[in-house]
Amino acid sequence: MTRDGAKGKVVIVTGSNRGIGYKIASLFFERGAKVVLNGRDAERLEKARMNLDPEGSRTLAVQGDVSNPEDVSRLIRETVGKFGGIDVLVCNAGMMMRGRFEDLVPQVVDGIIRTNILGAVLPIIEALPEIKKRKGSIELISSLAAVRGMPYINLYCASKMALTAIAQSLWVELSGTGVHLGILYVGITENDPDKLLYAADGSRIQVHPPLHSTQEDVARAVYRQVRLRRRKTVMTLAGKLLAAMQWLMPGVLTFFMAKLQRISARFAR
């Protein structure tokens, strides 16, 4: 990976005022890209932009909700207005939940579907004409939760699996256009200390998962996938093992998951 491998490229990272998205934006910035930050919290967004680039010549912060069509149009319009085009779109904004399927309330169902599915679909639709002009890249930030449906993160799994279907469809639809589309299956990753998840009933809960990857590991994997124009990466050894087991013996996996129910039920709330 060269120090300035992304020099002059215009990179939008949705959901980048904190967490993994901020680390992805920072890495592309370090490598010379012009970076567009996004998120709903305007104050945190401006702080993130200032941290990255106090001068502001190579960054742009566009506040907005990726599941809102007007906000997404503005994100793309302002990017093209300031930097003249788009090379890379990283669909990172996401919402996580934890809880029993039967306890899910409509507010959480709506939030997960809107943020994780619509929040990737709308930016892709809006940005594609510009990305096509530059034969650029689209990156989908998925999760090991998309490799296999898992208990207590049920709807989150479903929303991330939807990204796989979108990727598979677009690999065909975009063939011959020169546009690259990559999907990254991220393992359990360090979280910002103040991050809260949604419980099935809509309350906010803390997250203390065992750590598999750092945010920097994820940022490097995204950068590598864009640079090498790879289609698919499953992160971590645990992820690769999960994918292999799901491929070869899904029934055995279901059996063990059911056996481990009592342990995983502890994480349901």
Ligand X SMILES: NC(=O)c1ccc[n+]([C@@H]2O[C@H](COP(=O)([O-])OP(=O)(O)OC[C@H]3O[C@@H](n4cnc5c(N)ncnc54)[C@H](OP(=O)(O)O)[C@@H]3O)[C@@H](O)[C@H]2O)c1
Which residues form the interface with ligand X (CB under 6 A)?
Answer: 14-21, 38-41, 44, 65-67, 92-96, 115, 119, 141, 143, 186, 188-189, 191-192, 195
Provide Rg for the chain, Cα atoms. Answer: 18
Which of 22, 152, 156, 198 is flagged as catalytic? 156
Q: With left for phi above 0 and alpha for psi between -120 and 50, is residue 191 left, alpha or beta?
A: beta
Query: Residue 33: how many CA atoms within 13 Å on its side-chain side?
Result: 27
Closest contact distance (angstroms) between CB of 7 and ligand X is: 25
Nearer to ligand X, 76 or 96 (CB): 96
Distance between CA 241 and CA 213 in Å, rounded? 15
DSSP letter assigned to residue 67: T
Nearer to ligand X, 15 or 99 (CB): 15
Closest contact distance (angstroms) between CB of 56 and ligand X is: 19
Which H helix or E strand runs over 184?
strand 180-186
Nearer to ligand X, 86 or 147 (CB): 147
Distance between CA 255 and CA 34 in Å, rounded? 48
Residue 156 annotated as catalytic: yes
Nearer to ligand X, 115 or 137 (CB): 115
Closest contact distance (angstroms) between CB of 177 and ligand X is: 25
Distance between CA 154 and CA 71 in Å, rounded? 28
Closest contact distance (angstroms) between CB of 246 and ligand X is: 16
Active site (catalytic) residues: 156
